[in-house]
Amino acid sequence: MAATDPNESLFLRPLGAVEQNPTALKLILGGKLRELRLAAGLDPADVDGRLGFSRSKTSRIELGRHGCKPTDALALLELYGVDGEDHVEEFLRLVDQSRRPDWWRSFSDVLSDFFTPLVALESAAERIRAYEPFYVPGLLQTSAYTRAVIQAGPGQLLPHDVMRRVELRQERQSHLDQPDAPYLWAVIDESVLMRTVGGREVMRAQLEHLAALIERPRITLQIAPLDVSAAVGLGTGVTYLRFALSDLKDAAYIEHLTDSTFTQKPQVVEQYRNMLDRLGACALTPAKSREVLHRRLGEY
């Protein structure tokens, strides 16, 4: 492999806000190491053998499932022919960033395995697109509405567990208040506005909250009339994450009755993105949606 140009970054562009997300950094660093390995003409087993790694360690690092230690990073960069003090320093700085604890780990007591990938990566997204057929999307819920939704779900939860789930959702929402927050585009089924969740006071406060959020420049809200949502046939809650960096693949989170699916398989993600495109094209405009929202609010 030819030596790297010391005047160029190892990465295509500055990583920006993504540097604050350890999970996203692990994926990016792993992808870069895979790119360097392929350029060096090596397979994972070769690397494991030459560096004395345990079996499949290289693959786990490349997939972002195994944090990369600084000593491992140095050995890998040397093996792949990466030289230049700036390159090594840049990579090690990001490795150090990726080893910081993720904020969501403090909620591991209430985080399910299928939900963790969404929570871990959504704050690193450039755009979040969400559709909910039964409830207000989680990132737009008040704490009282969230509590009512959780209590109405399957199974009996202890009050402490309910509280922790509400706190987790509020923490996720707080990322939308950051200067580099993702743009959020949400489509809500019209029936959601008609469904009184948690009682009239809770629902009125939720509608007031939506009326305030719809005015924010980084949030787009559309209402899907009943005939539109039936025609598009999405039928389940979907969250789509779009990342600004090509190092991160777009993702889709699809909700089911008792669990969910998080996928970054391009064909599957593209399918759901197309359905969200169709739904958005058929839903009411943000201006019309605002009118519907305020009309419904006036009925409380």
16-100 — its CATH code?
1.10.260.40
Structure tokens at 57: 């360690």
What is the per-residue pLDDT for 87? 86
Q: Does domain 104-297 have CATH number 3.30.870?
A: yes
Gyration radius of the chain's alpha carbons: 22
For the chain, domain boundaries: 16-100, 104-297
Write the CB contacts of 147 (distance below 8 Å, at least 6 apart in sequence).
Answer: 162, 166, 198
Give the model confidence (pLDDT) of 85-131 as tens digits.
888 998 999 999 999 999 999 999 999 888 999 999 999 999 999 99
Q: Which residues of the chain have pLDDT under 70?
A: 1-9, 11-14, 229-233
